[in-house]
Structure 1
Amino acid sequence: MVLLIEKLAKHCFFKLENHHHSITHPQPEELPSSSSLLAFKSHVSKSIDQLALDLKARSETLSLTWFERCLALLPLINKAFAKLVADMDYPMSKWGVGSTEGYLCYTLSLLELFNSISSCLSHLGQARISLAHGLTLVENSPSLARKYLKGIQFQPGVFSTNLGKDLEEARVFSDKERIVHEAVKEMRSVGFWVCGVLLSCLYGDGKSYMELRKVAGGFDSSLVATLDFEIGEQFMEKIFIFAEFKEVNDAVADLVAADEVRRHYAAKELQTKLQVLEKLSDSISKEVDNLFANVMTQRSKLIDGFRLQ
């Protein structure tokens, strides 16, 4: 699906190039107030500041429950962005070359990251199924159950390192485009931060986070600077995992080592931990699917609108 969108984006960029060459000087317009951009940043910052306050300092694990709230930043900032362009009376149908290219580039990167996340969550789902099957064998076939009672293993992963680089080269012709460009840069920083945290915890290393931080040009001056300060450097120092993963793996180890007296209790404990993980991971997977669909819809709306021009 992403490949299809990439082809559409390239086709659209070709048309944008032709449109760009026909432009000599932008028509004068009344400069929009920067208050809309400030309101956009302020609205998103409130949620980010609360997430930073709720983050346990120097913790070796992150909670999936906490991360669910991080993921909620993406629909939040999308709604704030929609309000921003509405307040400026600058809907997608009026966007120029710079705004269009910047948004298409950013959203294409986001779609690729969502695909990587979905692949990781699918791998996690398979691990959960194997553990659940092992639990059904514990009472009657404990030796056979051991074959399936394996801790959750990290899945090595890789994604394109060219994500979003064209955004910095987007052509800006008007003050409204400049404001949209700045807002899209903030959206990209938030999106890359969220995806970087999730992918690093799913892959079991900090490479994804550090790479996305690099592609974004750093998070120091972005809305997620506080969160990056809290956990960013730790991705270089240690392997971050979600607390729920660790709890499941600890429960698996306890069950495998349990004698006949403790086996029933240990199995119940693992079942409880698996149910918690299943609920949270399924919720995150569903939200990622919803975000993917929403981004696709917005991209299609922008591309279709440009074709009608």
Structure 2
Amino acid sequence: MVFLLHKFAKLENHHHHHDPPQSEELQASLQAFRSEVSKFIDQLALDLKPGSEILSLSWIEKCLELLSITIKALANLAVDIDYPMSVWEVDSIEGYLSYSLCLLDLFNSISSSFSRLEQARLSLSHGLALLEKNSPSSATGHHLKAIQPGCFSTKFGEEFYTESDKARFFSGKEWVVHEAVKEIKSIGFWVCGVLLSGLCTDAKPYMELKKMAGEFDGSSILTLDSKISEGEVKQNPILKEVKEVNDALAELLVASDEVKHEATKELQTKLHVFEKLCDVVKAKVDDVFSKVMAQRTELIDCFQVRKQN
């Protein structure tokens, strides 16, 4: 696809304009786009709770809704300025396709992380079942183990983020699209970084994606990001629900016979809540994945039609 886009760029004899955007109408349209997105970001900031609850699955599910809003807002913006994807210039096409490809890969990493957590949850549930059948040694030896941090090894910077650092100049509607794509890129990387750090109990995804997004400089997500202490994310990015399961398990493993039944019920409850919230977030991830894929496919189809013509 990158090769085709470069070939298409040569056929188009594409040039950048050095004229700064002058239309007040275009600036107003971009501002409306940013307002639509920042309104939801402000609400997310208000919903934040202190401590590790920042990384609760219920709150992260709301963050994923922000990605859906950016997809819709970009489509609305294209209509508002009468600049559909079918007439985007090559730089905008390349920029969005590069971002969306990276985002889809992030979603795959998120899905893999959920699979690992699901396996750990199933093992704990099986261990509880054995415990209830009076097989304590088998349960504690093989299944009743705390959910462990995951492994994060995807090299996004090397494999997916290949945008040139050279200065580029945009004008008119192309400038509006460029600024909008830059904004949704920051938001997408922030949401995925926070979610992956929580799922992996590892600050690396958040820190890498924040660096790739230019520290979210100039983005409306910076306000929300500033409410998350970097020190806290580095030291304790564990999901609230994972911590509650592990704490309940620790209580069970040291419980006396008198309170072991209640401790078991408490762990079962925490596992049930964890399972339900995981299902909700996974469904949201799948939904956003489908929306990104649909928008990406639309852009590729537009490009192919133009190339044939």
Contact 1:98 1:170 in 2 (8 A): no
Change (3 A) 1:167 1:110: farther
Contact 1:60 1:240 in 2 (8 A): no
Cα offsets for 1:102-137 (capped at 9, x unmatched): 111110110111111111111011111111111111
Q: For structure 1, which segment, 226-235 or 74-83, has the greater mean C-alpha deviation from structure 2 after superposition?
A: 226-235
User: Counterparts in 2 of 1:174-193, with a 5 A limit?
Assistant: 174-193=171-190
Which runs of 4 or more aligned residues in structure 1 lie more than 6 Å from their structure 2 counterparts after TM superposition?
Answer: none
Q: Within 1, Cα distance between the matches of 2:198 and 2:192?
A: 10
Q: Within 2, Cα distance between the matches of 1:139 and 1:226?
A: 49
Q: Within 1, Cα distance between the matches of 2:36 and 2:280?
A: 25
Q: Within 2, Cα distance between the matches of 1:165 and 1:277?
A: 37
Structure 1, unmatched stretches of 5+, are 1-8
Q: Within 2, Cα distance between the matches of 1:265 and 1:229?
A: 41
Letter in 2 for 1:152: I
Contact 2:26 2:176 in 1 (8 A): no
Q: For structure 1, which segment, 279-288 or 79-88, has the greater mean C-alpha deviation from structure 2 after superposition?
A: 279-288
Letter in 1 for 2:2: K
Contact 2:16 2:168 in 1 (8 A): no
Matched, 1:23 2:14: yes
Contact 2:157 2:212 in 1 (8 A): yes
3-state DSSP class of the match of 2:259? Answer: helix
Aligned match of 2:264 in 262, 267, 280?
267
Cα offsets for 1:70-92 (capped at 9, x unmatched): 11100011111110111011111
Q: Within 1, Cα distance between the matches of 2:61 and 2:151?
A: 23
Query: What fraction of aligned residue pairs are identical, expressed as a percent?
Result: 52
Contact 2:71 2:291 in 1 (8 A): no
Change (3 A) 1:167 1:92: farther
Matched, 1:14 2:9: no
Q: Give the aligned length.
A: 299
User: Counterparts in 2 of 1:139-218, with a 5 A limit?
Assistant: 139-140=132-133, 141-146=135-140, 147-159=142-154, 160-162=156-158, 163-166=160-163, 174-218=171-215
Letter in 1 for 2:46: L
Change (3 A) 1:260 1:58: closer
Aligned match of 1:91 in 68, 78, 84?
84
Contact 1:85 1:91 in 2 (8 A): yes
TM-score, normalization: structure 1?
0.89
Q: Within 1, Cα distance between the matches of 2:60 and 2:16?
A: 46
Cα offsets for 1:204-255 (capped at 9, x unmatched): 1212111111111111321111121111523564121111111000111111
Letter in 2 for 1:126: Q
Contact 1:210 1:235 in 2 (8 A): no
Post-superposition offset of 1:58: 4.9
User: Counterparts in 2 of 1:82-161, with a 5 A limit?
Assistant: 82-140=75-133, 141-146=135-140, 147-159=142-154, 160-161=156-157
Q: Within 1, Cα distance between the matches of 2:199 and 2:11?
A: 42
Q: Within 2, Cα distance between the matches of 1:301 and 1:205?
A: 35
Larger RCO, structures 1/2 (Cα 8 Å, 6+ apart): 2
Q: Within 2, Cα distance between the matches of 1:24 and 1:167?
A: 16
Change (3 A) 1:267 1:197: same
Post-superposition offset of 1:293: 1.9
Cα offsets for 1:18-62 (capped at 9, x unmatched): 334x23588x99955211110111111111112112212455752
Q: Within 1, Cα distance between the matches of 2:170 and 2:109?
A: 34
Change (3 A) 1:129 1:292: same
Change (3 A) 1:61 1:255: farther
Q: Within 2, Cα distance between the matches of 1:240 and 1:246?
A: 10
